[in-house]
Structure 1
Amino acid sequence: MRTKIATAVSALVTSPRLRALGRRRRALMRRLSGRRPVIHYFHQAGDPYSVLAVQAVPLLRARYGVDVEIHAVSAPDRAAAPEPDMLTAYGLRDAALSGRLAGFSLDADVSALAPDASAKALAKGDALRRKLGHYLGAVFYFEGEWYWGLDRLDFLEERLAPFRRADAPALSIAPRREVTLAPCKTPARPPVFEAFISFRSPYTWLAIERVTKLAAHYGADLKWRFVLPMVMRGLPVPLAKQLYIVRDCKREAERLGLPFGRVADPVGAGAERGLSVLHHAIPAGKGAGFAQSFLQGVFAEGIDAATDAGLIRLAARAGLDDAFVKKALADPSWREVAEKNRADMFAGGAWGVPSFRVEGGAMLWGQDRLWAIEEALRAACESP
């Protein structure tokens, strides 16, 4: 019953109809008050993603008939960003990739755009960010919805389309880049492609199909490196973060043409049971199929993986029978493998999933960076 209630709540939270109603209600309130549209941008000093995001502010003001208010905020607390030192190191490298796509630089002088960061200003900005329901820097808020950094600026611009100035260019400020599966010669040796995944990660669900297609197209040796969910490793996930993630995943799923929203959270027994089956499915050549079935089931179909009926149903879609599932559940050796994978992932500079690397190279975190993984796979194919 608890799972059914949670699934119904998640479906409501991610409901496109509810989202559309909220947008119309806020737009009506704005028009009735006679106010101009206002974007709130939250800037975190020293954050590389904020250095990039604030460079978009003048472009937003120039292209759209909107006001943009900039607020200084503090760094997120450890509950929202549990590995601050790793985030600092990874963020510099990852933001450089993101900036390259948009033509923005981490070396740009943004002092004229950055807001007052006095203690009083920070307290005010933090309070507003908390009230509106977020926890990070480099985020834009517009009439009830959040957009993080350059990665989600295209979604914000979709919302702003009615306010676009007549002379504004049609191209997005920060265009997306997606995998292309471009022609590539068969490699002399299959490049090793590692995918660090979790069965409680909705972003893993968004990535899983593209990951398998990338590996097949570029002749890669795909290694599934499963880990326990973050919260089961003692890393908390605050409510504001949970809400932002499921709503963000919903719009990403819509963009990718994937179902999402009827979530049966597999945290605990569901994830553990799923990983035990995955551990046995991988050497049987059914790892990708089971992972995709499991993730679709728990994030789009409300299937409870903590029950025998639910897990058997998810396994059957991947060609795994009841006997296979029972044998896997009786074997606890998956735990050692999951811990080794976690240690390797941390050693590579990532602490969350999905994360990827090719030929032992730089770790890339997130389904938004699969285009960069494709670059690495193509380079590996073209190397002598």
Structure 2
Amino acid sequence: MPFTSLVKPRLAEIITSRGLQNARRGLHDLGRRARGTQHEVHYFHDASDPYCALIAQILPAFEARYDTALRPHLISGPPSEAVPDPKAHRENALKDASRLAQKLGLDSPKADGVAPEVNARLAAHFGDPDFSQHLKAISAAQWAGRDLPAGKQSDPTASLRAGDQELRTMGHYLGGMFYYGGEWYGGVDRLHYLEDRLQNAGLGTGPLLVPPPELVFDRQGDTPKTLEFFFSFRSPYSYLAFDRVQHLADQHKAELILRPVLPMLMRGLPVPKAKSRYILRDCTREARRLGIPFGRICDPLGAGVERGYALFDYAESDGRMATFCSAFMRSVWSEGADAASDRGLSHIVRAAGLDWAKARDELKSQTWLRRVEQNQNRLQDVGLWGVPSFHVDGQSIWGQDRLWAVADLLGTESKQALPGFG
């Protein structure tokens, strides 16, 4: 077995361990104490981002609840390499933010676009002790399509430039992000992780402002539907979703259509290093919360993916397509199996209940290329580009953290405690 196949999974296991996370947090807090500074939460606001419209609604409540200094930053938007398909990204963000707002009891962003003076109005209030209140009022008018409330303006150029630079320096690429003590928290979706951390540090108490939606698998309704599931073997988020999607489809007696696609890098789409780093840490905490094994990783990018995809026809002919896909992702994302090697792939094949001798004869098959190409075209047809993605009842949904939305479309109303934001 190649040396890297032995070492890299162990290193990944250390990098994703709770022990290293706690050590990092301890070092950050030690540095803060040495500098004699208070706890600071940085927030990066992109006025054109509909997800930021949701954050603006809860920011005053967050600031009031926690004994931290809120450091807001204005940014001008994500770099082009972080958004492979800007038009599809924009359309999906508006739909998804509206869906999420309804789930959380927030106002949905209805207007599309940014009034030119929004950043000028926000920049004028930088340094004000009630900045979050101004942000809430200005953002509410902006996304409702109303006139902005009367107030002062300031040239936002310097603020935007400084915010963009700070975001790059601190290691991220998107707006709607919170940063505290060396870790990033993406929007309202991940705010509960930040709240947990702040409460454990004794910086605030009370029920979470935005608890994670509780996915309920109880079946309701008698009209079976078709659920298309787009995924890739190289996507850790696809791994976190795979078995749960199967269970959800089973509960609803839905027809589950598996649509594997190539990883973004193998499709020629850029994936910035900052994005890869954030995904790894985010998947680690999501897996931990969901009770899914994760962390001993052997990245299957390239030969590992191709060899796995070459076995689709064999697995499908044996009635074990879903079992094989599940075994593959579990093995590479939690057991350190090297799918590019015969030793690793044979382990995966046997874990799926398949015959390695038969599988080995299929490794030179190229029929998977056509299947994947058709799935990628279908993914584009439904208005998406990344995975894991879902299409059900005429609607497209993106992300393993949107299974509650899939459940709603299949007929189960997932539960969510609705907070009050004042």
- Residue 177 of structure 1: aligned partner: 213
Structure-2 change in CA distance of 1:101 and 1:186 (3 Å): closer
Alignment equivalent of 1:206, drawn from 240, 251, 254: 240
TM-score, L = length of structure 2:
0.84
- The answer (yes or no) to whether the contact 1:64–1:163 under 8 Å persists in 2 is no
- Residue 160 of structure 1: aligned partner: 198
Aligned equivalents of 1:284, 1:151: Cα separation in 2? 39
Matches within 5 A, 1:255-274: 255-274=289-308
- The answer (yes or no) to whether the contact 1:140–1:149 under 8 Å persists in 2 is yes
Aligned equivalents of 1:125, 1:84: Cα separation in 2? 21
Aligned equivalents of 1:221, 1:19: Cα separation in 2? 40
- Residue 294 of structure 1: aligned partner: 328
Structure-2 change in CA distance of 1:27 and 1:337 (3 Å): same
- Residue 58 of structure 2: aligned partner: 56
Greater mean alpha carbon deviation, residues 270-279 or residues 249-258: 270-279
Per-residue CA deviation, residues 117-166 of structure 1 (Å, 9 max, x unaligned), is 7221111111111111111110000010000011100001011103444x
- Residue 144 of structure 2: aligned partner: none
Shift of 1:220: 1.0
Shift of 1:370: 0.5
- The answer (yes or no) to whether the contact 1:86–1:349 under 8 Å persists in 2 is yes
Aligned equivalents of 2:34, 2:324: Cα separation in 1? 52
- The answer (yes or no) to whether the contact 1:101–1:174 under 8 Å persists in 2 is no
Shift of 1:24: 1.5
Per-residue CA deviation, residues 296-327 of structure 1 (Å, 9 max, x unaligned), is 11111111001111111101111111133124
Alignment equivalent of 1:363, drawn from 390, 393, 396: 396
- The answer (yes or no) to whether the contact 1:226–1:341 under 8 Å persists in 2 is yes
- The answer (yes or no) to whether the contact 1:57–1:68 under 8 Å persists in 2 is no
Percent identical residues: 41
Q: One-letter code of the match for 1:263? A: I
Greater mean alpha carbon deviation, residues 28-37 or residues 266-275: 28-37
Tell whether 2:279 aligns with 1:245: yes
Q: One-letter code of the match for 1:155? A: Y
Shift of 1:378: 1.5
Query: 1:97 aligns to what SS in structure 2?
Result: helix
Structure-2 change in CA distance of 1:279 and 1:146 (3 Å): farther
- The answer (yes or no) to whether the contact 1:102–1:175 under 8 Å persists in 2 is no
Shift of 1:355: 0.4
TM-score, L = length of structure 1:
0.92
Matches within 5 A, 1:36-47: 36-47=38-49
Per-residue CA deviation, residues 66-107 of structure 1 (Å, 9 max, x unaligned), is 111110112211221211111111100001112222222244
Structure-2 change in CA distance of 1:335 and 1:73 (3 Å): same
Query: 2:230 aligns to what SS in structure 1?
Result: strand
Q: One-letter code of the match for 1:196? A: F
Query: 2:411 aligns to what SS in structure 1?
Result: helix
Aligned equivalents of 1:358, 1:33: Cα separation in 2? 52
Aligned equivalents of 2:75, 2:309: Cα separation in 1? 39
Q: One-letter code of the match for 1:285? A: G
- The answer (yes or no) to whether the contact 2:178–2:186 under 8 Å persists in 1 is yes
What runs of 5+ residues in structure 2 fail to find an aligned partner? Answer: 112-117, 123-133, 140-153, 414-422
Shift of 1:186: 4.7
- Residue 218 of structure 1: aligned partner: 252
Structure-2 change in CA distance of 1:57 and 1:302 (3 Å): same
- Residue 12 of structure 1: aligned partner: 14
Alignment equivalent of 2:26, drawn from 19, 24, 27: 24
Aligned equivalents of 1:274, 1:230: Cα separation in 2? 16
Alignment equivalent of 2:352, drawn from 308, 318, 327: 318
Count of paired positions: 374
Structure-2 change in CA distance of 1:171 and 1:278 (3 Å): farther
Aligned equivalents of 1:216, 1:202: Cα separation in 2? 22
Alignment equivalent of 2:67, drawn from 65, 68, 73: 65
What runs of 5+ residues in structure 1 fail to find an aligned partner? Answer: none
Greater mean alpha carbon deviation, residues 257-266 or residues 111-120: 111-120
